[in-house]
């Protein structure tokens, strides 16, 4: 059940915030229905099983996602946290989170959508109060608004991911160089 969710940000909280793509232009919404939210929780690895979400869970997820994005953006830009976003994340973090269980086969986490959202909120708290804050960057693709943790050697990563953005930008730059080279040669 792969629904084109991408996990390139280095943190489930950041990948969650990236489920509204191209915020400055097209605004592509990943959570269009409850089953898409369920799929994201499963594909992200936050849970192994999820009770089916309802439309109210989708609306709650979108609200939390926007709060996470606002807080991450504020921290990245070294600005004050917006009070409403801070209240939303903290309220979700106070609720019961998804609890992993040990089974004969290993770790297993079964949760409700609310427990999964609490887990995301808690991960956001840990991220924004932890050592990775200086590594937060926004993708260099002008169309992309993903924020990621740059753990690359030298902290020089420019894109959220090579497959999702880096290759597109490099290919476009190559085509532009080739086109300008051909134009110069014809003059």
% of residues, the chain, pLDDT over 70: 86
Phi-psi region of 155 (alpha: psi -120 to 50; beta: other; left: phi over 0): left
In a domain, 148, yes or no: yes
Residues of the domain holding 151: 12-185
Average pLDDT of the chain is 89
| Residue 153 placed within a domain | yes
Asked whether the predicted pLDDT for residue 141 surpasses 90, the reply is no
H helices of 23-157, where? 34-44, 55-76, 83-94, 113-128
What pLDDT score does 144 carry? 86
Q: Does residue 66 lie within any of the structural domains?
A: yes
Question: Max Cα separation, the chain?
Answer: 73
Distance (Å, whole) CA 29 – CA 19: 6
Residue 33 forms part of a structural domain: yes
Phi, then psi, of 101 in degrees rounded to 5: -125, 150
Q: Is residue 5 part of a domain?
A: no
Is residue 151 assigned to a domain?
yes
Number of domains the chain contains = 1
* pTM of the entire predicted model: 0.86
Comparing 88 with 177, the larger pLDDT belongs to: 88
Q: Is 3 contained in some domain?
A: no
Model pLDDT for residues 54-109, shown as the tens digit of each residue: 999 999 999 999 999 999 999 999 999 999 999 999 999 999 999 999 999 999 99
Residue 111 host element (H or E): strand 110-111
User: The domain spanning residue 133 has which CATH number?
Assistant: 1.10.3300.10
Residue 1 lies in a domain: no
């Amino acid at each position: 059940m792969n629904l084109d969710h991408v996990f390139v940000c280095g943190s489930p909280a950041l990948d969650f915030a990236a489920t509204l793509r191209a915020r400055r232009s097209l605004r592509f919404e990943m959570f269009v229905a409850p089953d898409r939210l369920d799929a994201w929780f499963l594909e992200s690895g936050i849970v192994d099983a999820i009770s089916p979400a309802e439309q109210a869970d989708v609306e709650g997820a979108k609200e939390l996602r926007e709060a996470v994005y606002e807080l991450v953006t504020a921290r990245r830009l070294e600005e004050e946290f917006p009070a409403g976003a801070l209240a939303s994340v903290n309220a979700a973090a106070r609720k019961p989170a998804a609890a992993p269980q040990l089974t004969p086969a290993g770790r297993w986490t079964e949760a409700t959508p609310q427990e999964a959202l609490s887990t995301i909120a808690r991960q956001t708290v840990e991220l924004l109060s932890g050592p990775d804050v200086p590594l937060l960057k926004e993708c260099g693709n002008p169309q992309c608004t993903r924020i990621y943790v740059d753990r690359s050697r030298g902290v020089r990563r420019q894109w959220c991911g090579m497959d999702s953005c880096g290759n597109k930008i490099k290919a476009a730059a190559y085509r532009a160089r080739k086109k300008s080279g051909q134009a110069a040669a014809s003059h």
